[in-house]
């Protein structure tokens, strides 16, 4: 039994070594001929075309005054490998009184090239409307600074923080309905995946 396990381990290590050698030969063979293709495989910012993101959002001082937790998604187009413009929506749940709101927004983001090729900073803005469970429609916006950490050719981990401004929903008393009254300033934290 021990001999069988030893032979199996040696066979697996031999296979892995052979695969590594084939990859090295392949990389040397295509490097002089197709450097643009090799570069695009390792390019951490998606090229021109479709780009999207899905994220978990936390708003400190959400529309109803308590911390709001939810998910948002945005889909759009990358221009010139740096500029993103799109639109999105999501669902935000107020942790204090179980009210919800749905943001609908346009968003833009600018990516900055990084010398390390491991972390790519960006700045972004979202602006649009808010459909609230109680209190009607309102305003929703965030201004964020963040980073994108590439996980693959198009997939990346994103993290963003920044100020948030939205409509403020208030209640005049216990069990009184909420209504929109002015704006509320807060702080947004966003963690998710870009694709």
pLDDT per residue as tens digits for the range 145-169: 999 999 988 899 999 999 999 999 9
Q: Is the pLDDT score of 12 beyond 80?
A: no
Higher local confidence (pLDDT), 135 or 26: 135
Q: Which of 21-35, 89-103, 112-126, 129-143 has the lowest mean pLDDT?
A: 21-35
pLDDT for 3 equals 60
Rounded mean pLDDT, 103-122: 90
Domain ranges of the chain: 2-41, 49-194
Over pLDDT 90: what percentage of the chain?
57
Residue 173's pLDDT band (boundaries 50, 70, 90)? Answer: confident
What is the average pLDDT score of the chain? Answer: 83
Structure-block tokens of residue 39: 């570069």
Q: Is the overall model pTM greater than 0.85, yes or no?
A: no
Residue 81's pLDDT band (boundaries 50, 70, 90)? Answer: confident
CB 108 within 8 A of CB 124: yes
Domain 49-194 has CATH 2.40.160.20: yes
With tokens 């807060």, the residue in question is: 186
Q: Is the pLDDT score of 111 beyond 50?
A: yes
């Amino acid at each position: 039994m021990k001999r069988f396990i030893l032979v199996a381990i040696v066979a697996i290590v031999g296979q892995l070594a052979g695969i590594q050698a084939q990859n090295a030969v392949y990389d040397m063979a295509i490097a002089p001929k197709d450097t643009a293709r090799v570069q695009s495989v390792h390019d951490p910012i998606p090229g021109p075309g479709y780009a999207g993101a899905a994220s978990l959002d936390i708003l400190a001082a959400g529309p109803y005054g308590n911390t709001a937790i939810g998910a948002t998604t945005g889909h759009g187009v990358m221009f010139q490998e740096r500029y993103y413009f799109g639109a999105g929506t999501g669902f935000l749940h107020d942790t204090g009184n179980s009210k919800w709101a749905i943001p609908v927004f346009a968003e833009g983001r600018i990516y900055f090239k990084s010398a390390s090729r491991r972390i790519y900073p960006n700045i972004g803005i979202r602006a649009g409307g808010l459909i609230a469970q109680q209190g009607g429609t309102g305003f929703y916006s965030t201004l964020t600074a963040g980073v994108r950490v590439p996980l693959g050719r198009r997939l990346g981990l994103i993290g963003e923080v920044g100020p948030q401004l939205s409509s403020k929903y208030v209640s005049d008393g216990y069990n009184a309905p909420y209504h929109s009254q002015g704006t509320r300033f807060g702080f947004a934290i966003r963690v998710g995946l870009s694709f």
